[in-house]
């Protein structure tokens, strides 16, 4: 069996092993693959692994040996799923591998904004503490999270994990979720009856929903107008959940206090982004998922997905 990994560097830049995959067949791993090179590299493969390389129906039609596409991510919009079904190609994804890593990044952004650890550490390095007349100084207001409201959109794995961590900090959780009010109550969570309620009441708003036609630009100019001027937005979900122009304007005009984002609408932001350089906007380069522990789980699950497919009982099929 021929296995081709089209963009393996992000999942495994060299600190993990592909040996388990090699035991299943002839494996070729490419760090990155440009669109014009996909067909040539995938020729003859029964199994393709991809993270962000797009697999279209046009490609499938030119790959008669292809039986299986393993997406090395939870989101699978890089594959034309209806086309794969028409061609009898199994497509799998990797659910829930990075739950705690993403929740940890939510809190990293939130604590960075509320405590400004890096800012104060750098100020000390620059000698500002030595020059200060008092034993303590701060460059920004420091914010305690106890008693504040964390609004969450989507209570799947990462949303629920984020809620648990926030509860340990004394935060009230208000969630917009398909779960019933009774089910949320058992989790110590209040149910928001509308997006408008969530945006109005949240001191911190964290996005954990999938990207769909309904949720694209979920955070838009109209809803940002509802938020408190002291509010913080965190997005570790998908970049297009946020209207970046509207968010940049809200930040620059002081209509909300700050934002922490790990995802952008275009990645990498080749054409720039209005959020780069926006006031109090802290951006990390889509790394919430990328702890070594999470990436190791990703590869383990990807390997088990292929083994299940070979046994005739595919799992995590999308």
Residue 253 gets the label, from left (phi > 0), alpha (psi -120 to 50) or beta, of alpha
Same-domain pairing of 29 and 111: no
In sequence order, what are the beta bridge partners of 172? 149
- ω into residue 268 within 30 of 0, thus cis? yes
Active site residue 238: yes
Same-domain pairing of 64 and 191: no
Residue 153: the pLDDT is 98
Same-domain pairing of 109 and 26: no
Residue 155: the pLDDT is 96
Active site residue 267: yes
Residue 178: the pLDDT is 94
Same-domain pairing of 80 and 124: no
Whether 231 is covered by a domain: the verdict is yes
User: In this predicted model, what pLDDT tens digit does every residue of 127-182 receive, in sequence order?
Assistant: 999 999 999 999 999 999 999 999 999 999 999 999 999 999 999 999 999 999 99
Residue 141: the pLDDT is 94
Active-site hit among 57, 120, 286, 304: 286
d(CA 18, CA 16): 7
Same-domain pairing of 210 and 298: no
Residue 74: the pLDDT is 92
Same-domain pairing of 163 and 44: no
Same-domain pairing of 74 and 151: no
Whether 317 is covered by a domain: the verdict is no
d(CA 252, CA 114): 18
Active-site hit among 172, 208, 238, 295: 238
Active site residue 87: no
Task: Find the length of the chain.
Answer: 318
Residue 228: the pLDDT is 98
pTM greater than 0.85 = yes
Domain count across the chain: 2
Whether 155 is covered by a domain: the verdict is yes
Same-domain pairing of 78 and 106: no
Within 8 A by CB and 6+ apart from 35, the residues are 53, 54
Same-domain pairing of 50 and 180: no
Two tokens, residue 258? 């700050």
Whether 315 is covered by a domain: the verdict is no
Residue range of the domain that includes 53: 2-97+292-310
Q: How many CB atoms lie within 10 A of CB 181?
A: 12
Same-domain pairing of 16 and 34: yes
Same-domain pairing of 74 and 221: no
Residue 292: the pLDDT is 98
Same-domain pairing of 247 and 135: yes
- Residue 234 sits at the vertex; the CA angle it makes with 232 and 240, to the nearest 5 degrees, is 125
CATH number for the domain including 57?
Answer: 3.40.50.720
Regions in the chain scoring below 70 on pLDDT: none
CA distances from 39 to 61, 68, 71, 310 (A): 10, 15, 17, 24
């Amino acid at each position: 069996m021929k296995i081709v990994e089209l963009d393996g560097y992000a999942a495994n830049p060299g600190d993990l092993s592909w040996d388990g995959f090699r035991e299943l067949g002839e494996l070729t791993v490419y760090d990155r693959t440009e669109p014009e090179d996909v067909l040539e590299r995938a020729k003859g493969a029964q199994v393709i692994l991809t993270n962000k390389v797009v697999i279209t129906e046009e490609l499938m039609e030119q790959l008669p040996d292809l039986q299986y596409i393993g997406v090395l991510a939870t989101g699978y919009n890089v594959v034309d799923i209806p086309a794969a079904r028409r061609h009898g190609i199994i497509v799998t994804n990797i659910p829930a591998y990075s739950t705690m890593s993403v929740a940890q990044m939510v809190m990293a952004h939130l604590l960075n904004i509320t405590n400004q650890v890096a800012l104060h550490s750098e100020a000390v390095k620059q000698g500002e503490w030595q020059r200060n007349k008092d034993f303590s100084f701060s460059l920004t207001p420091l914010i305690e999270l106890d008693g504040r409201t964390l609004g969450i959109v989507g209570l799947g794995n990462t949303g629920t994990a984020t809620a648990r961590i926030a509860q340990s900090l004394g935060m009230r959780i208000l969630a917009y979720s398909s779960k019933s009010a009774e089910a949320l109550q058992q989790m110590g969570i209040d149910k928001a009856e509308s997006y408008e309620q969530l945006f109005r009441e949240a001191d911190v708003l964290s996005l954990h929903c999938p990207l769909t036609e309904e949720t694209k630009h979920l955070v838009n100019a109209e809803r940002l107008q509802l938020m408190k001027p002291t509010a913080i937005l965190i997005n570790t979900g998908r970049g297009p959940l946020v209207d970046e122009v509207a968010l940049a304007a809200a930040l620059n005009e002081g209509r909300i206090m700050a934002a922490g984002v790990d995802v952008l609408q275009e990645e990498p932001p080749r054409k720039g982004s209005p959020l780069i350089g926006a006031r109090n906007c802290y951006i990390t380069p889509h790394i919430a998922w990328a702890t070594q522990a999470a990436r190791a789980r990703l590869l383990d699950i990807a390997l088990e997905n292929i083994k299940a497919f070979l046994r005739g009982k595919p799992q995590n099929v999308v």
